[in-house]
Amino acid sequence: MDQIIKYVLGEMRVIADAPVVFLAALLIAAGVIWWALDWRYGGIIANRDSDIATLKNRIEEYKNKAGGASPDEVKRKLDDLAEMTNFTIGANWRNLTSKETVDLQKYFSAITPKRIQIMYSNYRGKALARSFENILRAAGWTDIHFSEGGGLGYGISTGPGDSTAKVLKAAIERATDFKVSLFGPEEPNEANGCFIAVGINAPEPHK
């Protein structure tokens, strides 16, 4: 303890003998610390100011685009638009798995080939419709016509309601988890062939 007291007293004598030098060193040290703090936190404040300005600009853009509507009102409008789009265009149809493709080709091969039309409502069902076409060709069907079609409704369907359409429906439902509708009445004359239609991928709206 005595040694600590002697050390402190000795340092105080040094400071007392050279007060100007000590004060100058103290001021320099304080200046360096102030500069470092100003540089460090000045940059943080500048970045925060920039972020705040960006957020303000985005809020103004949102207000202009939303026409003064509240976030809840905008969400309701977007939900209504999504629902309308779902019933009008539907979701993307999934791709067939490898097993489904193999099984479907086997079942299609057991059906007597005839003229068939493969149709799709919009681009969201085109890939699945093309898969049906390719599998039919691999199964030995040759008189195949591929096109976009209107008024195909919802889901997958086969038609007209003749024996071939029924067998195609059964084959697709057996190989996949798709539910297939049978379109049209029973028709004994199959001269006009049949079709597979990929409609809108959405639940049919209540009428």
Residue range 83-104, pLDDT digits in tens: 445 545 788 999 999 999 999 9
How far does Cα 81 stand from its chain's mean position?
A: 16
Task: Specify the pairing of strand 156-159 against strand 194-198.
Answer: antiparallel
Q: Do 194 and 165 form a contact (C-beta atoms < 8 A)? A: yes
State if pTM tops 0.75: no
How many whole angstroms separate alpha carbon 194 and alpha carbon 163?
A: 10
Per-residue pLDDT tens digits for 48-78: 667 667 776 776 776 676 666 666 665 565 5
Closest CA to 172 of 107, 84, 119: 107
The region of weakest confidence among 51-55, 78-82, 113-117, 123-127 is 78-82
Give residue 138's Cα distance to chain centre. Answer: 33
**Domain boundaries along the sequence of the chain:** 2-68, 98-198
CA–CA separation, 6 and 13 (whole Å): 11
Which two structure tokens, joined as six digits, stand for 190?
Answer: 């199959």
Q: Roughly how many angstroms between the first and final C-alpha of the chain, as a whole number?
A: 96
Tokens for 71, please give them.
């976030």
21-30 tens-digit pLDDT: 545 555 666 6
